[in-house]
Structure 1
């Protein structure tokens, strides 16, 4: 067994990787921090892992958008197992925008305007966390991880599975890692439930929540002033997802959905029939 984690849970923001990590962290044979790590290849913590642990895991978001991530991980741990969490692209993009707005990290409550500004934001050096269309572009990242780890060491979990069948999803995760799911002791927070994850998002977007460290790069003063205002005055105002915007986004993502389906041999029909929430009712389970 080489250096680095035995498995990595990753996926775009608001897809559900943090929730899956919290489930796995409850398993007695897994040592896994619940909080999202900054990088899959970060130096190991000086803190000793839990006594009797069998596998060391890591939760690192945004690896899909980092071109060198898959090959760098494979160079250190070619036997590493990758759990990749994906969500229907339109729903993910809007949920992410809504989350950023409520955190006071968005300068507009208009999702369409944020999408229109995306290239300008990129040119100005804004954080990738403010590039909502790009954050839902999965194909290149999926191909890189499949190329470097092969189908046997890559498990793709859909956000929709987490919501509709959380217990079965947890079983699938455990079997992929070579563990028994029934080793987890029953308690008030167990077995896993997607509904329970809503509290994570509700707590994160409550009025007065602190600004996270993922603020835009080189954010101008007027944007920081807006963030403070939005964080203290506007949390109750809900951004809307216009059906026309949702339909246009879905059409733009359709070729990617077809290509991912062909690449993975996995049916993505639920994505094609999905009706993204309108009026700010996006699911909170994908944090």
Structure 2
């Protein structure tokens, strides 16, 4: 058994114990002042790991709390239990749950919780994001279809999902979360929802390509955005959550088709945010 597998098993055993202790202890816990809301497979794990190196930023018990999407049926005290005890008023905390941006209700819920929340968005070229998302689901054993068929079947798989969310706000929507390969890359709708709920000054949109090319500079910008000293030296040499996959035989064809598919939505996004990304 690999070291990573052993560590994963230990984490699964220890985490519930630690979390239950936190709930029992209660206490005056910090509230998040920033959230990385997405996109999935765009570098959110790396960015969060870099940010919590800062001495003024306290980490959550888990990076992805998933309160405003998958666990909104739980009490607010459940959410607060993930955050550290309040010890220093100058310190801040935040979380990163990359499904928030795509979930049809999460952004409004975050705004109701804190309309002054700092919202951080990482956007990755939707073509490479969709392909990476597919491989992620294959690795987790949740996708058995080949890439081409999976992408062709997406609309059928997601049919009626939004209606289910309307009828039941606590609907988990596993298919909507897992098989939304192409849909998640229509970023403009998601960005418009964020802009409708939060002030412009509270939204930070980052191209993940720029993030990985100019990591230190991007991290400094984010530190300044969330209100801590941007001069603290963050170690950015390690990338997190990088997957290794066996290439699907149809990947090149799918890649070409997706390039055409996203051309118009990307242009609409650029108009909405007032800048272009090097995706075309």
State the TM-score bracket (shorter-chain normalisation).
0.7 to 0.9
Residue 106 to residue 176, structure 1, CA distance change in 2 (3 Å): same
- Give, in whole Å, the separation in 2 of the partners of 1:257 and 1:173: 24
Q: Please report the TM-score for the alignment, with normalisation by the length of structure 2.
A: 0.73
Structure 1, unaligned runs of 5 or more: 185-189, 206-234, 273-287
Q: Secondary structure at the match of 1:113?
A: helix
Structure 2, unaligned runs of 5 or more: 1-29, 161-172
Q: Residue in 2 aligned with 1:285?
A: none
Q: Residue in 2 aligned with 1:118?
A: 154
> What is the total number of aligned residue pairs between the two structures?
228
Give 2:136's match in structure 1, choosing from 99, 103, 106. 99
Q: Residue in 2 aligned with 1:153?
A: 202
Is 1:191 the counterpart of 2:235? The answer is yes
Post-superposition offset of 1:133: 0.8
Asked if the contact 1:29/1:54 (under 8 Å) is kept, the reply is: yes
Post-superposition offset of 1:47: 5.8
Post-superposition offset of 1:51: 4.3
Post-superposition offset of 1:99: 1.9
Q: Please report the TM-score for the alignment, with normalisation by the length of structure 1.
A: 0.72
- Give, in whole Å, the separation in 1 of the partners of 2:137 and 2:270: 29
Equivalence map 1:1-287=2 (5 Å): 4-33=31-60, 35-40=63-68, 43-45=79-81, 48-49=84-85, 51-52=87-88, 54-108=91-145, 110-123=146-159, 126-184=175-233, 190-193=234-237, 196-197=238-239, 200-202=241-243, 237-240=246-249, 242-268=251-277, 270-272=278-280
Q: Secondary structure at the match of 1:253?
A: helix
- Give, in whole Å, the separation in 1 of the partners of 2:56 and 2:84: 14
Structure 1 stretch displaced more, 84-93 or 55-64: 55-64
Post-superposition offset of 1:243: 3.2
Q: Deviations over 1:114-157 (max 9, x none)?
A: 10111232249624222211122221110011121122110001
Asked if the contact 1:70/1:144 (under 8 Å) is kept, the reply is: yes
Q: Secondary structure at the match of 1:182?
A: coil
- Give, in whole Å, the separation in 2 of the partners of 1:150 and 1:103: 37
Asked if the contact 1:14/1:95 (under 8 Å) is kept, the reply is: yes
